[in-house]
Amino acid sequence: MNEIENKHRRTVLLMGIALILCILASFTLGRYPVSPAELLGVLGYKLGLPIKPFWTSSVEAAVWNIRLPRVILSVLVGACLAAAGGAYQGVFQNPMASPDILGASAGAGFGAALAILLGASSMGITIGAFAASLLTVALVFTVSRHARGDRVLGLVLAGIMISSLFQSGTSFLKLVADPNNQLPQITYWLMGSLSGAAWSDIGFVLLPMLCGLIPLFLLRWQLNVITMGDDEARAMGVDPRKIRLWIAVASTLVTASAVSVSGMIGWVGLVIPHMMRRLVGSDYRFLMPASMLGGGIFLLIVDNVSRNATTAGIPIGILTAFIGAPFFLWLITGKGDHYEH
């Protein structure tokens, strides 16, 4: 067992190294070529190191104002979506669970569309999406309390119902939006993109993301316990209802934060946890950090393709679906049940 655990630890460590390499490589991709020396020089100079500038102002702007915020957001959004998806799959014991199972994404889409319709700024759209996402999940919890029968099933069904309502609301807002200006903006936001990433976005979502990711990381062994069943969890001194609530709140927080700055990006929270189970098994002590790292790597690579494939850039939600759907098909047709401990 120790040998297997050491192998999983090495896998997570290698994924961390791979993420660092992907981050460094991302800075060199783009219409403005940046050499590794220029990259390290700009980053060191901005961090206060005594380095004499040997790069142009356009290189500095490309690295610090454009690529760095986008790279950071790509990693954070990917980590958040993958962590939330893996947590929900464990809590609900459903391999098809994803970050939008409780309606967070549908609520964010409605909030963003409403903000665009009201003429809000870019930050206003982000705030609207974040607030509406949290409101939607709060409504789901409120409705599920009055559901009869199994509480977990009632929560999932409430999420499906409330999601449908907010998706209908978003469709109505698209119907009444100005077809020349507002409708294209709403449609593009719903496709998901990180093209407008800025330091202000990171400043807005960093704290709620950390407030969600840290509990998910710390509660990973409790996730192992509740996947065994409620009776076994209580026998081991774990309150399954309380743990599910904490994990649902943390997952909602990271999902709302991610979607508010990236738009609707699907498949990351569904595919990455499955992929990580192939690498480190179903033990959440390793699965949760692996999912966070894997999500960051995956979305960073996809975003690099998105911004370099064409001049205008391809919405990242299109690419994640294009890559995620066939990849998930390959995963589910593989051998072995990766939900057994």
DSSP character for 297? H
- For 251, the token pair is 């997952």
The per-residue pLDDT for 327 is 79
User: pLDDT, tens digit, for every residue of 271-307?
Assistant: 999 999 989 999 999 999 999 999 999 999 999 998 8
Cα distance between residue 270 and residue 327, in whole Å: 11
**CB count in 10 Å sphere of residue 7:** 13
Instruction: Confirm if 268 and 299 have CB atoms less than 8 A apart.
Output: yes
User: pLDDT, tens digit, for every residue of 85-116?
Assistant: 999 999 888 888 899 999 999 999 999 999 99
The per-residue pLDDT for 166 is 97
**CB count in 10 Å sphere of residue 188:** 15
Cα distance between residue 163 and residue 148, in whole Å: 20
Biggest distance spanned by C-alpha atoms of the chain: 68
Write down the architecture of domain 2-332 according to CATH.
Orthogonal Bundle (1.10)
User: pLDDT, tens digit, for every residue of 177-228?
Assistant: 999 999 999 999 999 999 889 999 999 999 999 999 999 999 998 999 988 8
User: pLDDT, tens digit, for every residue of 133-169?
Assistant: 999 999 999 998 888 777 788 898 999 999 999 999 9
**At 334, is the pLDDT very low, low, confident or very high (cuts 50, 70, 90)?**
low
Q: At residue 335, does pLDDT exceed 80?
A: no
Cα distance between residue 1 and residue 7, in whole Å: 10
Percent of the chain's residues with pLDDT above 90? 63
The per-residue pLDDT for 269 is 93
The per-residue pLDDT for 337 is 44
Q: At residue 338, does pLDDT exceed 60?
A: no
Q: Where are the alpha helices (DSSP H) in 182-315?
A: 182-191, 199-218, 220-226, 230-235, 240-262, 268-280, 284-309
Q: Where are the alpha helices (DSSP H) in 53-198?
A: 57-61, 68-91, 104-117, 122-145, 151-176, 182-191
The per-residue pLDDT for 158 is 93
> CA 48, 54, 59, 63 torsion: positive or negative?
negative
The per-residue pLDDT for 140 is 95
The per-residue pLDDT for 328 is 75
- For 237, the token pair is 């001194």
Question: Which of 59, 100, 74 lies closest to 22, judged by CA?
Answer: 74
Q: At residue 336, does pLDDT exceed 70?
A: no
**CB count in 10 Å sphere of residue 318:** 16
Burial of residue 130 (number of CB atoms within 10 Å: 0-12, 13-18, 19+):
buried
**CB count in 10 Å sphere of residue 64:** 15
User: pLDDT, tens digit, for every residue of 33-69?
Assistant: 788 899 999 999 998 888 888 888 888 988 999 999 9
Which single residue is written with the structure tokens 């700055």?
A: 261
Backbone phi, then psi, for 333, in 5-degree steps?
A: -95, 0
Cα distance between residue 63 and residue 172, in whole Å: 40
Cα distance between residue 183 and residue 94, in whole Å: 35
Cα distance between residue 228 and residue 340, in whole Å: 10
Question: Which of 289, 295, 303, 308 lies closest to 267, judged by CA?
Answer: 295
Question: Which of 158, 147, 112 lies closest to 133, judged by CA?
Answer: 112
